[in-house]
Structure 1
Amino acid sequence: MKKVISFQIPKSNKEFVRFQIDSGKHFYDKLHQHPQWQLTLIVKGKGQLMVGDYLGRFEPGDMFLFSSNIPHVFRSDSEYFDQGSEKESLGHTLFFDFEVFGKSLVEVEEFAGLHQWLSQTKGCYSVIDKAQKKIRKELMVFSKNQGLDKIFTALGILKNLQLANALHLLNHLIPQKDYSETEGKRMGQVMSFILSHSQNSISLTEVSEVAHLSKEAFCRFFKERTGKTFTEFLSQVRIHQACQLLQDTELPISQIAYQCGFQNLSYFNRAFKKIQGESPKDFRGRVDKLGSDIYSN
């Protein structure tokens, strides 16, 4: 099996479920994939989640499910990498290794529903609605489970994931094949470069050199794996960063535009409305009103 980047989850060869707490200044910031399914609850920290063609924000309370071998990265916001920052990141994750069941997953009658669900559930999902609330309670105390309690709790979580309206698909394009080692490293380097330099002017020539490809080859490579052109992806990264600043600061909109890499305010407004469906001013007003309503209640 091809792998994106060497990333091994410490486990025994016959461990169905493993619970992991990721605690530190920022999350693991390299694009990677693994054969285990992953269920992650964000307890602390904010940033951008990239999974295939999906690019979006994550923040405390969010929960995500990745099926097997889906390249992904939780990229914490830049302030989480500052040495002097007191910001922290915390995530609770379950890794499910369905391969330990071998043929039993297909042959055992009681597993028929689970096997069908696994076959139909591909890509990246946000976990929402009642299922998210139920699973969140279990993940916050999952480390207390041992032996059969660990297995029963994990199966209960899988049952909740199969509830109606539990999952919202985030991908438009589902990867049809694994990345090779070379492709994975190349894509990881490109993503890291874009996220680290998005506030600056980035030319197609620069990012092509990072990928060690010609401009034409890079454009094909990038579009095949993200479903977007480099320019479209870069704009989306910048707009998501602008959303964070509009929500978390009182900086003027013109300063936010410049800080996120837009040299022209008019272009920033047009790009923002195209991606978010509303103007930066309307976005900030709506978010502020939502926060005031929550606080007043």
Structure 2
Amino acid sequence: MQPDLEIVAVRHDESFKVWSHGYPYRTVRWHFHPEYEIHLIVATTGKMFVGDHIGSFVPGNLVLMGPNLPHNWVSDVPEGESVAQRNLVVQFGQEFVSNCLESFPEWRQVEALLADARRGLSFGLQTSAQIKPLFLELLAARGLRRLVLFMSMLEILINAPDRDTLASPAYQADPTRFAATRINHVLAYIGKNLANELRESELAQLAGQSVSAFSRYFRRHTGLSFVQYVNRMRINLACQLLTDGELSVTDICFKAGFNNLSNFNRQFLAMKGMAPSTFRRYQQLNDASRDASEQAAAHGRGIDNAPAIVLAPGLPRSGVAYPVT
């Protein structure tokens, strides 16, 4: 069975996503995503599937997975019953990894760990016990504390003596093949046609389903209704266009696929907490501060490169000064 694509939405003011969910839940299915994931089971037992690996899990099961590695955890919970919190999850993208590698020489210690994670890494209960309190605090942490906790978790995983690789050496995750699944066709179509009118009935036909079945199917895979998902994607596109600064807000409204300005303003305010024009002003302020910083740096370099001025030896303080070369 082909895995489904999970859409991982990391907040614009955060570097990675931290969350938890219960069981049953919409992401409990055979799926993949381009982000790395640290996955800790805190309740239930059952079967886990990572790549071509199948194994059992108990509370304390801790796994680090690389990009596009299909996975799923199926709990032994009687039908009709539910669990409020089954697992804790951290997800972080390749861009974040690349930025850390570029900025911090110490990050090279993490490279081998993340390379092995492409086949999935399972850690023992000793390491899991060290990770769990950090994970629980991370759920509610804000600001720099999030980074401290996340880096502490990675340090523990790097030094863990109780780790095993899950998928076989021959297993190769193939996201291009996975992308051929029905939901991924639908998401790709939406992404390419945001500026055009998008009808749920037409997407249902593309997926080969009735509108009601498609509506349930879409929400199960994305966590959003069709309209909510399309509006979110359109607002993201509008933010990119507003940052460019060349088009008017009205032009951006229509280029992002909204058919009237009042609805665009209302949706933008609901998702971003400000009007589009305010968002643009803040971006311009941010750009202006960058330009001012670059000018100050250039001015500083000019001063630094100027010849130093000292008094010639033996002259009084009011004497002639000569540049030192």
TM-score normalised over the length of structure 1: 0.53
Q: Secondary structure at the match of 1:162?
A: helix
Q: Secondary structure at the match of 1:44?
A: coil
Larger Rg: 2
What's the CA shift for 1:143?
Answer: 1.8
Which residue of the partner structure matches residue 194 of structure 2?
Answer: none
What's the CA shift for 1:42?
Answer: 1.0
Change (3 A) 1:122 1:14: farther
The 2-side partners of 1:10 and 1:163 are apart by 30
> CA offsets, 1:241-283, max 9 Å, x none?
xxxxxxxxxxxxxxxxxxxxxxxxxxxxxxxxxxxxxxxxxxx
Show structure 1 runs of 5+ residues with no match.
Answer: 187-297
Q: Secondary structure at the match of 2:113?
A: helix
2:15 maps to a residue whose letter is F
Q: Where do 1:83-98 residues align within 5 Å?
A: 83=80, 85=81, 90-98=86-94
- Whether the 8 Å CA contact 2:42–2:85 is kept in 1: the answer is yes
What's the CA shift for 1:122?
Answer: 2.6
1:65 aligns with 2:70: no
What's the CA shift for 1:135?
Answer: 0.5
Q: Where do 1:272-291 residues align within 5 Å?
A: none
The 2-side partners of 1:20 and 1:144 are apart by 9
The 1-side partners of 2:99 and 2:83 are apart by 46
Q: Where do 1:1-297 residues align within 5 Å?
A: 4-12=3-11, 15-25=14-24, 28-77=27-76, 79=78, 82-83=79-80, 85=81, 90-102=86-98, 104-106=100-102, 108-173=104-169, 175-179=171-175, 180-181=177-178
> CA offsets, 1:136-171, max 9 Å, x none?
111122223111000111011001000141422222
The 1-side partners of 2:96 and 2:163 are apart by 25
Q: Secondary structure at the match of 1:93?
A: strand
What's the CA shift for 1:46?
Answer: 2.3
Select the structure with the greater relative contact order (CA < 8 A; seq sep ≥ 6).
Answer: 1
Percentage of matched positions with identical amino acids: 20
- Whether the 8 Å CA contact 2:22–2:83 is kept in 1: the answer is no
The 2-side partners of 1:171 and 1:53 are apart by 5
> CA offsets, 1:93-146, max 9 Å, x none?
111224125355156422222234323443122211542221011112222311
The 1-side partners of 2:60 and 2:116 are apart by 26
> Where do 4+ consecutive residues of structure 1 move more than 4 Å?
86-89, 182-186
What's the CA shift for 1:89?
Answer: 5.2
TM-score normalised over the length of structure 2: 0.49
- Whether the 8 Å CA contact 2:6–2:33 is kept in 1: the answer is yes
Equivalenced residue count is: 181
2:11 maps to a residue whose letter is S
